[in-house]
Amino acid sequence: MTDRTAPGGGAPPGRAATDGVAGRLRGRTDLASLPLLLAIWAALAWIADDRLLPGPGAVGAELVELALRGPLLADFARTLARVAIAFAVAMALGTAIGVALGRWRAADGLFSAWVVIGLNIPALVTAIACYIWIGLTETALIVAVVINKTPLVATTMREGVRALSPDYAELAAAYRMGPARRLRLIALPQLMPYLLTAARTGLSLIWKIVLVFEVLGSDGGVGFRFGIFFGFFDMTAILAYTLAFVAVVLTVEYGAMRPLERRVLGWRAARG
């Protein structure tokens, strides 16, 4: 049988060159994605020629105006603060609950139905209930988001704990590792893919839920401003806020999540 590996144990030269070309093409495709979206948007706005579908130029000018002289920056500051607090609390609670359910079958049997109920209760019901019980306050909004998103994180982390390899646990026992070293060297590397998945999924949903809850009841924020713009059918302002929101989301994804993923899970690519 012909050996298809390189002399140094890595990929053969032909495969490495192919991977390099594919990577460069993928990078160029990523760069072309947003300009293509803007071009399609501009074409549709030109064809429609309607005030309800403004083009990128009008929306960009409105965005600058709202950022310099309007409430855009203050609204985004309030919404991002709410998202950050709700995300941190939901991740902490969900991770703790998921680890407990994955580790102890008795706890999973007792509380798994609670998790299913939490996953399927509509966010709107949670928001209304919290607003009625706590009032139209910042605390009610954050509590509603945490209640809505914690079960999702718990479910993901439970599956991660269940997938832990017993072979590594035996290896840790053979080397007489303490609990701290077991957690750092054995458990965390295996759990990180699940933790990152829970973080990315939870964050993408928390963005949306916070905006909906702000529309229902808040005294500021991006969702609150959307409600006002909707009342005036101000599509240009709605798209301007949406454009700013997309910029924030892309910054978080490409500036934080993906570099963190490459750094934490780089060992998997190196091993492959």
Tell me the per-residue pLDDT of 25-62, one tens digit each, with 9 for 90 and over: 555 566 677 788 888 988 988 888 777 889 898 999 99
Residue 19 located in a structural domain: no
For residue 17, give both structure tokens. Answer: 């060159």
Residue 192 located in a structural domain: yes
For the chain, the straight-line distance linking the first and the last C-alpha, in angstroms and rounded, comes to 21
Range 102-124 average pLDDT = 88
Range 151-171 average pLDDT = 85
Q: What are phi and psi of 218, to 5 degrees?
A: -165, 165
Q: Could you tell me which residue, 263 or 223, shows the higher pLDDT?
A: 223
Burial class (CB in 10 A: 0-12, 13-18, 19+), 198: buried
Q: Could you tell me which residue, 237 or 216, shows the higher pLDDT?
A: 237
**Domain containing residue 228: CATH number:** 1.10.3720.10
Residue 154 located in a structural domain: yes
Residue 163 located in a structural domain: yes
pLDDT on residue 24: 56
Residue 42 located in a structural domain: no
Q: Give me the domain span that covers residue 76.
A: 72-271
Residue 93 located in a structural domain: yes
pLDDT of 204 > 60? The answer is: yes
Dihedral-angle region of residue 221 (phi above 0 means left; psi in -120 to 50 means alpha; beta otherwise): left
Length of the chain: 272
**Would you call 269 helix, strand, or coil by DSSP?**
helix
Q: Which range in 12-16, 100-104, 172-176, 267-271 is most confidently predicted, on average pLDDT? A: 100-104
Give the number of domains in the chain.
Answer: 1
Residue 191 located in a structural domain: yes
Residue 20 located in a structural domain: no
